[in-house]
Amino acid sequence: MLRKGDIVTERKDDIILRGLRENNLKQIDLNIPKEKIVVFTGLSGSGKSSIVFDTIAMESKRQMMLNYPHYIRNQMPRYERPLATLMQHLTQVIVVEQKPVQSHSRSTVGTYMDVQPLIRLLFSRIGTPPVHSATDFLPQSAFGKCPNCHGYGEVINPDVHKLIDFDKSLRDYAIQFKPLSPSGWQGRWMITGGLFDPNLPIKDLPKEQYDLLIYGPPKGDKVYAPFHTKNGPQDHEWDGLLPRFRRLYINRDISTLKQVSEEDVLNVSKLSPCFTCEGSGLAPDVLACKINGLNIVAYNQLELTDLKMELRKITDSLGTSLVTQIKPHIERLIDMGLGYLSIGRTMNTLSGGEAQRVKIAHHLGSSLNNVTYIFDEPTAGLHPEEINQFIHILKELRNQHNSVLVIEHDESVIQIADEVIEIGPGAGVHGGEVIYQGTVEHFKNTMSSTTLLNKLTLNDAPRKINNYFTMKEVNNNNLKNITVKVPANVLVSVCGVSGSGKSSLMLEAFKEEYPNAIVVGQGSIGISSRSTLATYMGIMDRVRSIFAKKTKQPAGLFSFNSLGKCPVCKGKGVITPDVAFADPITTTCESCEGTKYSQEALSYTFSGKNIVEILRLTIEEAIDFFQDDTITKKIMTLQDVGLGYLTFGQTTSSLSGGELQRLKLASYLQEEGQIYVLDEPSLGLHGQDNARLLNVFQRIVDKGNSVILIEHNLHFIRASDWIIELGPGSGKLGGTVVFEGTPKDMAQANTLTAKWLRLRMDE
């Protein structure tokens, strides 16, 4: 076991690191064995990422860049040498970060996994009737795009419920679109033309008048009504409100109209799937091209397990060569437990656990060995059953002569490590030291801050349930017309494997039924070197206003993004000079000494401290410093989620994944509400952080509120008052309620979550 002050003994071909000083690291030395699974653990913010990402990964990438000629390097990302005395025996790295997959509405599982281009190529080679170019299967191509929606898969249609107030009459402005209302000539024509009763509410019109007003005359018929002009009445053809709206305001260039803007039209419209291409964006000739009776849209919609079977039916020699390239991508996803997904599934609709595994599968396609794989919280968002599958992948990578470095809090992953390195003892300024390095067996017997495989104890005194939130016949996505009663005013956990329907139930159906609920999703917060803890929490505006009131100066003077910024570094605190082809070098600004503020801004004080001295206060120190109730309330929320060690001025870009998660939770928990729905609040958090967060949730419930967690973490599940599990599987194999009851009831149940709960109780 390695303790502070011990001499690091060198093993053959270790990764050798000396004098690491990035962020909060305190001149630490490490030897990391190669071709082993090495797990880095410790409290969130203790310095794990500073070692693995900011030092090892960064230096490996930097040295790889040095192999390219200068003119190529100048076009590539530039990496600054990490703060370290010595870094030796590094290898090429493949990094799988905790950051969410960046995607847009057209990014799918197939495009992310590089399968879609191969599928298009397959159809262009063996599909019938033939479409000879693979690019013609793209909705963006001139040949391949749908002539109706121009490749978007959606069309703008009038929304009759936005366009018409059915409780009003034509004379009382039932038409909500100004050019078609009585204020315009068309609206006056509807009133005076004699086709409709202008004084009856639209909903009370006779069916014949109602259909004629909204849809126009039957196909083939024509109806005319007189329009009164200065030259007397003239007959005009009436084509129906919806057809007229499409003709005059959708199927034309709106910019040529003086009285109507695009925003006006969109306010009474909606996006609908294109009826010509059924939402695919593809032209009819492209959709007609098929392989064994299926077109490319049908291929995109097949579950991966079914797609694999369909590919096996291809016997054409040209097709089989392409299938050989496609199958490994599909099989990696299936091996990750994602066989229920389709290659056409858009990335932004995946749950956190699904997106994490797709990302991992994408990076596991390399056949290289002697590579260093770096994983950041790879089990985040995974059910214990799925973690078990992932552990097999880690072992397989190691057995292929790769080094596997994993930042992880999950005890199941720590248990299979060849070596454990714990960073601590605390977080932030209280961390940055190696407090343990050695085997798992010795780790179990240390007085470590990480509780390894702690036996679970169940909540044996759940709160009494008096009321419920009821959802009836819910069929969102894969949910199978289920009726669910979620207890109110207690702590509820909704669990189940990824893709079982948890998000569909709680983030969609529940939110629709109970719109006042405060929902905390998995989306990441915006991070920037110019955004601080205080600005994100809305504290900085109050601090600046206090300074402005005290000093009679503008509030902008106390912002390094505005009037108060240092004139030399422009509020960055550092200078990065242009060094041409050399590695970038960042130095502290000599003018402001890294404070980011001008001398004028620093000359003003409040309660004996200038703005920089206040930004250097920790959350714990700020509680005693400020006497302002608004600020104190926000500060206490940060303290409650365990971020008391951070400073006011710490930038969001410098926070770890676990710290960002707690900061996001704190920003939501300061809102006053009665129903909180939190999607996997334990993501990226250490066991001690989870325990602190659980106490926060219990206090919220004790005040009479309802807290509903979508969670895989067994520590949260076992402490709940009530548990709802969806399943039994994922996708079409899920969508039903397989368990409802207390933790003690679950211990006797026959579900996947119950299985892992019993295993952890018996350890």
Reported as a single tens digit per residue, the pLDDT across 133-188 is 999 999 989 999 999 999 989 888 999 999 999 999 999 999 999 999 998 889 99
| Joined tokens for residue 532 | 């601080």
| pLDDT computed for residue 305 by the predictor | 93
Between 207 and 104, residue with greater pLDDT? 207
Question: What distance in Å separates the CA atoms of residue 595 and residue 593, rounded to the nearest whole number?
Answer: 6
Cα 556 from chain centre: 33
pLDDT band at 598 (very low <50, low <70, confident <90, very high): very high
CA-atom Rg of the chain in angstroms: 31
User: Which residues is 294 bridged to in the sheet?
Assistant: 291
- Cα–Cα distance, 216 to 244 (Å, whole number): 9
* End-to-end CA, the chain: 24
Structure-block tokens of residue 75 = 């076009």
Mean of the per-residue pLDDT values for the chain? 89
14: left (phi over 0), alpha (psi -120 to 50) or beta: beta
What is the percent of the chain where pLDDT is above 90?
58
Is residue 10 pLDDT above 70, yes or no? no
Q: pLDDT-derived band of residue 762, with 50, 70 and 90 as boundaries?
A: low
Q: Residue 103 pLDDT more than 60?
A: no
**Averaged pLDDT for residues 495-516:** 92
Confidence of residue 335 (pLDDT cuts 50, 70, 90): confident
Query: In the structure encoding, which two tokens stand for residue 573, read together?
Result: 């605190």
Q: How far is CA 684 from CA 44, 83, 658, in A?
A: 8, 25, 4
The pLDDT, as a whole number, for residue 31 is 96
639, containing H or E segment: helix 629-640
Helix, strand, coil percentages (3-state) for the chain, rounded to 5, are: 35, 20, 45
What contacts 425, CB < 8 A, 6 or more positions away?
46, 431, 433, 435, 449
β 482-487/468-474 pair status:
antiparallel
687 by DSSP, 3-state: which? helix
Instruction: Give the integer Cα–Cα distance in Å for 125 and 290.
Output: 11
Residue found under tokens 């009445």: 233
**What are the two backbone dihedrals, phi and then psi, of residue 346, each rounded to the nearest 5 degrees?**
-70, 140
Structure tokens at 586: 């960042």
- Per-residue pLDDT for 658 more than 80? no
| C-alpha separations of 584 from 62, 79, 80, 527, 654 in Å | 11, 7, 5, 22, 19
Q: Rounded to an integer, what distance in angstroms lies between the CA atom of residue 716 and that of residue 757?
A: 11
The pLDDT of residue 1 is 44
Which tokens in the block code for residue 688?
A: 């001690």
User: What pLDDT, in 10s, does the model give residues 241-283?
Assistant: 999 999 999 888 777 777 788 888 989 999 888 989 988 999 9
Q: Please say if the pLDDT value at position 452 is more than 70.
A: no
Is pLDDT at 344 greater than 80 in this prediction? yes
C-alpha distance from residue 100 to each of 412, 526, 657 (Å)? 23, 12, 11
CA distances from 723 to 472, 486, 499, 639 (A): 18, 9, 18, 28
Token pair belonging to 722: 């009530």
Token pair listed for 289 = 């091209």
Q: Is 90 exceeded by the pLDDT of residue 203?
A: yes
Helix (H, G, I), strand (E, B) or coil at 744: helix
H or E element, residue 177:
none
Predicted TM-score of the model (pTM): 0.76
- How large is the average pLDDT for residues 287-315? 95
Say if CB 334 and CB 308 are below 8 A apart: yes
